[in-house]
Amino acid sequence: MSPQQRFVIVGASLAGAKAAETLRTEGFDGEVVLIGEEALRPYERPPLSKDYLRGEKSFDETAAVHPADFYDANRIELRKGTRVTEVDPGRAEVVISPGERLGYDRLLLSVGAEPRHLSVPGAELDCVHYLRTVGDSDALRQAFSGSPQVVVIGAGWIGCEVAASARQLGANVAMVELASVPLEKVLGHEVGAIYRDLHADHGVDMHFGVGVDALEGGKAVEGVRLTDGTVLPAQVVVAGIGVTPRTALAERAGLALDNGVLVDEYLTTNAEGIYAAGDVANAFHPRYRTRIRLEHWSAALNQGPAAARNMLGQHKAYDRVPYFFSDQYDLGMEYRGWAPVFDRVVFRGDVANREFISFWVNQGRVVAAMNVNIWDAGDAIEALLNSGGTVDLDRLADPNVDLTELS
Ligand SMILES: Cc1cc2nc3c(=O)[nH]c(=O)nc-3n(C[C@H](O)[C@H](O)[C@H](O)COP(=O)(O)OP(=O)(O)OC[C@H]3O[C@@H](n4cnc5c(N)ncnc54)[C@H](O)[C@@H]3O)c2cc1C
């Protein structure tokens, strides 16, 4: 690779920072420019709803992707607090506000996603929060002090983790969700009910099967009016109602879009020399023969490096089994696989004591699995998912049968 080449990465978070690191570990000797609009150096977001939010660990201890001196030491030009306003694929340049142009030989878009905002009356009131950045997490920690009345809108991963942390910080928490249990869209009713019971056991006041009509209050929010007429008192509202991929730059650049930036299994877009990775990328997955946009830490962690290798011409498909994790109170879990369709869930272990594995099964094949408070099953689960064959469901449920025998 010629030392004169310049690779530009737009979006300096997990996917972008790991891509920059990989360019160097793979021996790229040209310029690496990592541009991010946030003022902080690249960080991971999972702690923002967990230990960092609760004030248990600092930014450096739990969130920063690399030590502060990493970027200089690796000749990575990290341009913090810098926004890219245009991508010009015709001239192979990005425009950095206010008007600086920077040419690239390869470009990675790792611009991530942003929280969806409430559109109900009162959404603009003070003390209505969203959670994506360190600043958002700092603001929430402050808002949760002094045992306030918190209403969490949306019982997805962010909503559930924020509710758990708020309870752990001593806040009174109510949760509102349109579905019948938390996390129903991903986990289904049966497993979602385990999370419902977990939050109930920790004193969260839950309202399922209802929406939000309006937020009420003068300057700051004072209540949340539900579609069934109930008004929940609220001094703090947190909305965790999903994210939208940041596609504006790509759209203006004429890249192909559909629920994110469309990329193939090599994470290449339809434009010469431009790649996308992480939350913004809707990538073709060779295993599932379809495009999937993953909003997971592990996709950012691994797609960034995969894109970097392909920017260097290695032509390697990204085919990892999707993986994510969540921690709520004393329930930690890891989920592997992809289960848009399943016909049953098989449990192995002690569900009542929240120490078990649940398997999502479709036509006799395990398509996804979640280990809850069991930390030595990851490799066996991965092998089972990779083997792809039909399994005996009684043996799958039997904790005395070694999981590796089922692959
Ligand atoms: C609170 C929270 C908790 C989470 N917990 C978990 C968890 O427990 N497990 C799990 O698997 N996943 C979790 N996730 C999801 C995970 O953090 C994301 O999947 C991951 O952050 C995606 O990384 P990314 O690098 O693709 O994008 P992002 O993290 O969204 O970063 C994109 C970056 O690009 C920058 N940017 C955007 N546009 C521009 C521009 N025009 N110019 C310059 N810079 C730009 C943004 O400012 C941002 O810094 C959590 C997310 C949040 C918010």
| pLDDT digits 0-9 by tens, 217-233 | 999 999 999 999 999 99
pLDDT beyond 70 at 3: no
Which pLDDT belongs to residue 1?
47
Residue 2: pLDDT above 60? no
d(CA 319, CA 288): 9
Q: 281-317: per-residue pLDDT in tens?
A: 999 999 999 999 999 999 999 999 999 999 999 999 9
Query: Which pLDDT band holds residue 407 (cuts at 50, 70, 90)?
Result: confident
Which of 10, 21, 279 has most ligand 1 atoms within 8 Å of its beta carbon, as the pocket-test mutant?
Answer: 279
Percent helix, strand, coil in the chain, to 5, is: 25, 30, 40
Ligand 1 midpoint to CA 293 (Å):
13
The CA 4 to ligand 1 mean position distance, Å, reads 31
Minimum CA distance residue for ligand 1 atom 45? 11
Closest to 283 in 3D by CA, of 119, 63, 407, 110: 110
Q: What is the mean pLDDT of residues 190-210?
A: 98
Please give the DSSP secondary-structure letter assigned to residue 47. Answer: G
Amino acid at 299: A
User: Ligand 1: does its nearest atom lie under 6 Å from the Cβ of 36?
Assistant: yes
Q: What is the mean pLDDT of the chain?
A: 97
11 ligand 1 Cβ < 6 A: yes
Pocket residue to mutate for ligand 1, from 132, 140, 297, most atoms within 8 A of Cβ: 297
CB 224 within 8 A of CB 153: yes
Task: Indicate yes or no: pTM above 0.85.
Answer: yes
Cα(198) to ligand 1 centroid in Å equals 27
pLDDT digits (tens, 9 = 90+) for 273-283: 999 999 999 99
> Percentage of residues in the chain with pLDDT exceeding 70?
99
- What are the angstrom distances between the C-alpha of 243 and each of 53, 284, 388, 391? 19, 20, 31, 36
pLDDT at res. 404: 93
What residues contact residue 347 under an 8 Å CB cut-off, 6+ apart? 356, 357, 358, 359, 397
- pLDDT band at 4, cuts 50/70/90? confident
Centre of ligand 1 from the C-alpha of residue 137, in Å: 13
305 ligand 1 Cβ < 6 A: no
| Ligand 1 contacts CB of residue 35 (under 6 A) | yes
Q: Is the CB of 326 under 6 A from ligand 1?
A: yes
pLDDT over 80 (residue 381): yes
